[in-house]
Amino acid sequence: MSLLTLGGGCFWCLEAVFSHMIGVASVVSGYAGGDVDNPTYNAVCSGSTGHAEVIQIKYDEKVTSVTELLDVFWEVHDPTTLNRQGNDIGTQYRSVIYYADEAQHKEVLNSLEKAKKEFSSPIVTQIEPLDVFYEAEEYHQNYFKNNPNQGYCQVVIKPKVDKFKKVFKEKVLK
């Protein structure tokens, strides 16, 4: 199993999308990219820790690839808006890819070049090596699955999951 860590707005959104993807063994919501050890959700939301809300995907390279994961990533969030996804605003919502090693870094850069052709505005996604990943509090894990009727889930998350299922039909878990 391999790991890829992504940030693209609220971690609940990305977690919900990638948890429906073939080849993904697990998706964990958490924090990365900051300078505070063991950050809390409230601290990250304050913008004072430097962390982004991220997900860490554990995936089977025999079933899916970094490129396929990133194809979904580019599709389900807007990588052209700086520190924002919809009404979620702040550095903690930045678009970011944290790569695990140099081989993965190369795949990320190739995917970025391909994605640039799909957007009319410049992509502002940060690409950095993963230093430390901190798992978010338990109530953030599987948020969409556990709270499907909550307002944010219906208005923001569900449309992203539906888009994934429509655009990537062959990648959806049955």
Burial of residue 102 (CB within 10 Å: 0-12, 13-18, 19+) is exposed
Active site residue 10: yes
Active-site residue identified among 10, 13, 45, 153: 10
Backbone angles phi, psi at 56, to 5 degrees: -115, 120
Residue 105 host element (H or E): helix 102-116
Strands 24-32 and 126-129: unpaired
Distance between CA atoms of residues 152 and 58, nearest Å = 26
Which residues are tagged catalytic? Answer: 10
